Amino acid sequence: MSNGLTANSNSQSDFDALKQRIHQRLIGKLDLNRIGELEGDVLKREIRMVVEHLCDNENTLLNRSERDRLVDEVLDETFGLGPLELLLKDPSISDILINGPKNIYVERRGKMERTAVEFRDNEHLHQIIDRIVSKVGRRVDETCPMVDARLEDGSRVNAIIPPLALDGAAMSIRRFGSNPLTLEDLLEFKTFTPEMVMLMEGAMKARLNIVISGGTGSGKTTLLNTLSSFIGNQDRIVTIEDAAELQLQQDHVVRLETRPPNIEGKGQVTATDLVKNCLRMRPERIIIGECRGPETLDMLQAMNTGHDGSLTTTHANSPRDCIGRLETMILMAGFDLPMKAMRSQISSAIHLIIQANRLQGGPRKITHITEVVGMENDVIVMQDIFRYVQDGIDENGKAVGRFLCTGVRPRCLDQLNAAGIRLPASIFQERIMMAD
Ligand SMILES: Nc1ncnc2c1ncn2[C@@H]1O[C@H](COP(=O)(O)OP(=O)(O)OP(=O)(O)O)[C@@H](O)[C@H]1O
Ligand SMILES: [Mg+2]
């Protein structure tokens, strides 16, 4: 059947219509039972041949590269994630944010931009979401309109559909592993200064307990990952995450992941369950990807009972707010602990708070490295050692500012010294360390 498509009249919509037609025919031809028996590569080769044959039958005047693109896109549509495949192939993309079928943004190296990629319509977007979530045994529909899932490469996915999402389904993908940022990258991006790295490295090596605090997408997990590189190879590490994202380089690591309830509401394993279990596994360091709830108290208790050198992140906007957040999470979990007892648990468990922030225009900065000093009456006392102060916005709309050293001598230097780590006193002298 000819459709009159020529190289000259070959508009995008003709191309898309042709693609859809070939896709439909392909689906009609596939023997689904046999597909399961074939190896991935053999299967793709065979299907490619079928698609090329279908293309020939269409009697279209596509040139070689158009035809290759068509075959690739039909394959992506059939086995992959349709229009998303193009974005997933690009390693410089760290986040994909889909707001309905026609409005897709990506983030590259901290900068958000809109892409030309589109889904055909709402139904098409739903299909792809279904394909993603069903692979991890979940589903998305009216009774279950919000889901977390993962792609095969480990990327984290959240999808939310109407009626909760008002303008069509929304999906957020945090890429994983494609190009993890290194310490050198973060130094180059001026996320922190070399002096700050020296303190963070010393604190990790001297087994201080550290909380990384920050808003959504501020770089908490990235920092946790980079700091973990300072852990020696001899420590037994247990990690606990909701969706495994950490990429630890050490040998002696046990990775645990929580599990949401299944469709019947059964089988849930919470972070609290895992923290409790992990304490029976003789961990030397515990890393909790993110503290969000009742596991907070278990974590603090673990930190207070000899599991020094533990690390976690939490969602807060300043070090003071981070303490408040830990308190709230403990209270909401229903633990009937007097305020003072709770605060002294927190202040004796946590040594350092590292605050991450995503500033206007995209740059991520460590805006505070703050030490938890102790208690004065009922109040937790903290002191900033390093700070970032934003001065304004440059001509590109990007925040600019300075990293300051407050001149306070960190109390934790005693612990660092005891561990044989000696930092030059000069790095803590009051001054501007670096400006953007
Ligand atoms: N210092 C940095 N400079 C530039 N980009 C960064 C930096 N840190 C992280 N990113 C990028 O920002 C995005 C968010 O990073 P990350 O996952 O570490 O944030 P998060 O605070 O853990 O987010 P969430 O709250 O969603 O868990 C990632 O795409 C990451 O590559
Ligand atoms: Mg994170």
Kindly list the domain boundaries of the chain, sorted by start residue: 12-77, 85-174, 183-435
pLDDT of residue 28: 77
Query: Tell me, what DSSP letter sits at residue 144?
Result: B
Nearest by Cα to 105 from 90, 129, 87: 87
CB 94 near ligand 1, within 6 Å: yes
CB 314 near ligand 1, within 6 Å: no
pTM: 0.80
Instruction: State which of 222, 246, 366 you would mutate to test the pocket of ligand 1, scoring each by most atoms of that ligand within 8 A of its C-beta.
Output: 222
Tell me how far the alpha carbon of residue 180 lies from the centroid of ligand 1, in angstroms.
Answer: 10
- Report the nearest-CA residue for atom 31 of ligand 1: 94
The amino acid occupying position 280 is R
CA of 214, nearest ligand number: 1
Give the C-alpha separation, 52 to 58, whole Å: 10
Cβ contact 149:139 at 8 Å: no
Tell me how far the alpha carbon of residue 218 lies from the centroid of ligand 1, in angstroms.
Answer: 5
Give the C-alpha separation, 252 to 403, whole Å: 36
Phi, psi of 111, rounded to the nearest 5 degrees? -115, 130
Please count the residues of the chain: 436
Give, for all 436 residues of the chain, the pLDDT tens digit: 334 344 444 577 888 888 888 888 887 777 655 665 666 677 778 778 888 888 887 777 778 888 888 888 888 777 788 889 989 988 889 899 999 999 999 998 778 899 999 998 999 999 999 999 988 888 898 888 999 888 888 888 999 999 999 889 999 999 876 667 899 999 999 999 999 999 999 999 999 999 999 999 999 999 999 999 999 999 999 999 988 888 888 989 999 999 888 777 888 999 999 999 999 999 999 999 999 999 999 999 999 988 899 999 999 999 999 999 999 999 988 888 899 999 999 999 999 999 999 999 889 999 999 999 999 999 999 999 999 999 999 998 899 999 999 999 999 999 999 999 999 999 999 999 999 9
Residues in a beta bridge with 212: 313, 354
Cβ contact 191:369 at 8 Å: no
pLDDT of residue 95: 92
Nearest atom in ligand 1 to 365's CA = 1
Cα dihedral 58, 63, 66, 67, rounded to 10, equals: 50
CB 214 near ligand 1, within 6 Å: yes
Question: Is-cis flag, bond preceding 163, omega within 30?
Answer: yes
**Residues with Cβ–ion distance below 5 A, ligand 2:** 220-221
Give the C-alpha separation, 21 to 54, whole Å: 10
Nearest by Cα to 382 from 371, 393, 392: 371
How many Cβ atoms are within 10 Å of 431's Cβ, its own excluded? 13
At which residue do the structure tokens 């309109």 appear? 145
CB 364 near ligand 1, within 6 Å: yes
Name the CATH code of domain 85-174 (choices 3.30.450.370, 3.40.190.10, 3.30.565.10, 3.20.20.70): 3.30.450.370
pLDDT of residue 2: 39
Q: How is domain 183-435 classified at the architecture level of CATH? A: 3-Layer(aba) Sandwich (3.40)
How many Cβ atoms are within 10 Å of 106's Cβ, its own excluded? 21
CB 110 near ligand 1, within 6 Å: yes
CB 150 near ligand 1, within 6 Å: no
- Report the nearest-CA residue for atom 2 of ligand 1: 364
At which residue do the structure tokens 């208790």 appear? 301
User: What is the C-alpha R_g of the chain?
Assistant: 26
Nearest atom in ligand 1 to 175's CA = 29
pLDDT of residue 10: 56
Residues in a beta bridge with 393: 399
Segments in 113-240 forming alpha helices (H): 122-135, 183-188, 194-205, 220-228
- Report the nearest-CA residue for atom 8 of ligand 1: 219
pLDDT of residue 7: 42
Cβ contact 274:240 at 8 Å: yes
State in Å, rounded, how far the first CA of the chain is from the last one: 63
